[in-house]
Amino acid sequence: MLKALSRREFLAKSSVMAYPAMMAMGMLRAAPAQGFSWQGSGEGKHVIILGAGLAGMTAAYELQKLGYRCTILEARERAGGRCWSVRNGSKNIELSRPSQTARFDEGLYFNAGPSRIPHHHQLTLQYCRELGVPIEVYNNVNEGAYYFSEGKGPLSNKKIRAREIHNDLRGYMAELLAKSIDQGKISLDMTKEDASKVIEYLRAEGGLDIDKLYKSSARRGYHTPPGSGETAGKINDPHVLSDIIHSGLLDPDFYNVAEYTYELQMTMFQAVGGMDNIAKALEKKVTGSLQLGVEVTSIINTETDVKVNYKTKEGAKSVSGNYCICTLPLPVLSNLEHNFSSDISRAIDFTPYISTGKIGLQFKRRFWEEDENIFGGITHTNNDLTQIFYPSNGYLGKKGILIGFYNFNDKAKKVGALSYTDREKLALEKGSLIHPQYSEEFESSFSVSWHQTQYNLGGWALYNSETRKTLYKALLQPDKQVYFAGEHTTYLNAWMAGAFESARSTVTALHARATEQRIEYPTKN
C-alpha cells in the first residue's frame, strides 16, 4: 500500500524530487507558458537550421509544430552544443590538441557548460516542464564554502569559511556607518526618529553590540559548536578589518557576487542527472530533422532561397531551403564563407566572446562533505582556479566530481594554454592548498577550454553599451532569407534562456513573414 507523505516528509525529499511531480502535487506554480501557438501553417516551406544547440533545436521544435519542414545541420556527433555534461566516454576536441576522452565512473558527470537555472528564467523552466525534464535545487550559495586568498597578508594562504568574512565585513561596515551617523559625520536628510531607525537596522544587519560596535557574532560560526550539558558553544573573535583588507579579501575576487547578482540568487535549479538532459529531451522531439556530423562550410543567400554547403565523412554536399536560421557561434561563423551584408559581417567578425574553462575532478571520496561539511556551493580564490564548485547532487554518496576550476578571461587563457595534463596538475596543486585530501583521493580529470573548443571558440558573446547599438542590432534583423538566433542575439548571454528566447523570437519573425501576419514576440500583455 502507498504511504501518504506528510508535508514535512515531502519537503525533506523535495530537493531531489522531480519537478513535474512537484507541479502535479500543486507545490509549484507552473512557469507561465507564454503564448506560442501562432495561427497559420508553414506547410510546404523548408527551413534549414544551422547548429543543434538549444537555440537550433528549439527553433526546429517550434517550427515543426507550425507545419514547417526543418533540416538541422550539426557539425558535432552529438546535439546540445554548449549544453553538455561530461560523462565516462565523453570526447572533446580543442584546436591544435589531441582529442580528449573522459574516464569517469559510470553515473558520475559534471556540467561543462550550463550548471545553474535561475528561478526567474521562466522559459528555461517552461521547456523543462514541457519536455518532462526533472529538475532539482542547485545550491549556489553556501556560507560553509571557503575563501582562499593567495598572498602575503595575515589571513592569506588559509582557507576561511565564507560566513566568517561575510559577517565580519557586514559587522564592520555597519559599525562604520552607525558611528558616522552618531557622530554627525554624515548629514542625513531625515528626521531624528528615522535616523534612529536606520541605526537600529544597522545594529541588526551588522550583528552589532548595544554600544554599536562589532565584536563578533555566532553568524560567523563557532570555534566549539553548541552541544549538550555545559557545552554552550564558543565563538571566535572576528578577523581584524585591516587583516581582511591586507590579505586581499576585500578585492573583487571575493566580492559577494552570489546574493547580489540577480541571476545567481537562490533558488537555483539544475536538471537531474546532468544539464544536457534538457538537450537530449529536445533532441528526441526533432530526431527526424537532425543530421549529426555535418559541418557547414558556406551559406549562399539569395532573394528567394538559401543554399548551404557542408561536408560529411562521405564528402561535400549541399541543401537548399526557403529560409535558414543560423545559430552558429559568431567566432565559428566568422571563419565560414557567406554573402551577408557588411553590417552583419562586421557583427560576426567583431563581437568578442569570453574565454572560459572548467575542469572536472573525480575523487574516490566526498571528503568535502565527510570532512568539511560542504554540501554544494562555491569556494572562491584569487589564484588561477578562481572557483571550485561542489556538486549539488549525490550528497553522502561514495564518490563525486568537483569542478576544480571555473575561470574566465586572462586566467582562462593562461590555464587553457596548458596541456590537459598540466591543467590537471595545476588544479591539483592549487586545489590541495585548500583541500589537502586531493593528493590521496584524486582519480581522474577532464578539462574544457571553451575558447579553444572546436565549433564554439568562446564561452558566450560579450557586448557593451556601444556594441549593443551597432554589432548586436545588426544580428536582430534577417539578411534576406537568413535569420540569426542563439544566446548572442539576446540580452541573456551566458544563459540557456538566451537560446530559448532567441529561438522563439526568430520563429515568430519567420512565421510572420511566411504567413504574412502581424505577430510579435515577446507578446505584449
Are the C-beta atoms of 466 and 457 separated by less than 8 Å? no
Q: Is 114 in the site for ligand FAD (CB under 6 A)?
A: yes
Among 254, 353, 442, 460, binds ligand FAD (CB under 6 A): 460
Q: Does 136 bind ligand FAD (CB under 6 A)?
A: no
**Interface with ligand FAD, residue 487, by CB under 6 A:** yes
Residues shown for the chain: 525
74 binds ligand FAD (CB under 6 A): yes
Min dist. Cβ of residue 258 to ligand FAD (A): 13
* From candidates 486, 507, 511, 521, binder to ligand FAD by CB under 6 A: 486
8 A C-beta contact, residue 485 and residue 55: yes
Candidates 17, 47, 49, 55: give the one binding ligand FAD (CB under 6 A): 55
Q: Using CA of residue 180, residue 186, residue 192, residue 198, what is the dihedral sign?
A: negative
- Taking residue 43's Cβ as centre, other Cβ atoms within 10 Å add up to 9
Cell of 195: 535616523
* 409-416 helix and 420-434 helix, angle to the nearest 10 degrees: 120
Q: What is the per-residue burial (b if ≥16 Cβ within 10 Å, else e) of 491-512?
A: ebbbbbbbbbbbbbbbbbbbbb
Q: According to CB under 6 A, which one of 110, 498, 505, 521 is a site residue for ligand FAD?
A: 498
For residue 343, the minimal CB distance to ligand FAD (Å) is 21
For ligand FAD, the binding residue among 31, 75, 282, 325 (CB under 6 A) is 75
Tell me which amino acid residue 349 is: D
Of the candidates 173, 165, 176, 174, the one whose C-alpha atom is nearest the C-alpha of residue 243 is: 165
Asked if 125 touches ligand FAD (CB under 6 A), the answer is no
Nearer to ligand FAD, 220 or 451 (CB): 451
Task: Candidates 78-86, 92-100, 128-136, 158-166: pick the segment binding ligand FAD (CB under 6 A).
Answer: 78-86
Between 418 and 494, CB nearer to ligand FAD: 494
Matching residue, cell 528615522: 194
Using CB under 6 A, which residues numbered 82 to 101 contact ligand FAD?
82-83
Residues numbered 280-309 forming contacts with ligand FAD, rule: CB under 6 A = 295-296
Q: Are 80 and 52 in contact (CB under 8 A)?
A: yes
Size of the site for ligand FAD (CB under 6 A): 40
Closer residue to ligand FAD, CB minimum distance, 31 or 117: 117
Q: Give the closest residue to 281 by CA, choosing from 392, 70, 135, 92.
A: 135
3-state class of 215 per DSSP?
coil
CA–CA separation, 382 vs 497, rounded Å? Answer: 29
Contacting ligand FAD (CB under 6 A), which of 207, 416, 459, 478? 459
Cα atoms found within 13 Å of the Cα of residue 205, Cβ hemisphere only: 15
State the nearest-atom distance from the C-beta of 29 to ligand FAD, in Å.
21
Query: In the bound complex, what is the minimum distance in angstroms from residue 224's beta carbon to ligand FAD?
Result: 38
521, three cell numbers: 514576440
- Stretch 343-382 residues interacting with ligand FAD (CB under 6 A): 356, 358
Q: Does 117 help bind ligand FAD (rule: CB under 6 A)?
A: yes
**Does 338 participate in binding ligand FAD (rule CB under 6 A)?**
no
**H helices of 132-224, where?**
162-182, 192-206
Residues that bind ligand FAD (CB under 6 A): 50-56, 73-76, 81-83, 113-117, 295-296, 327-329, 332, 356, 358, 450, 455-456, 459-460, 486-487, 494-499
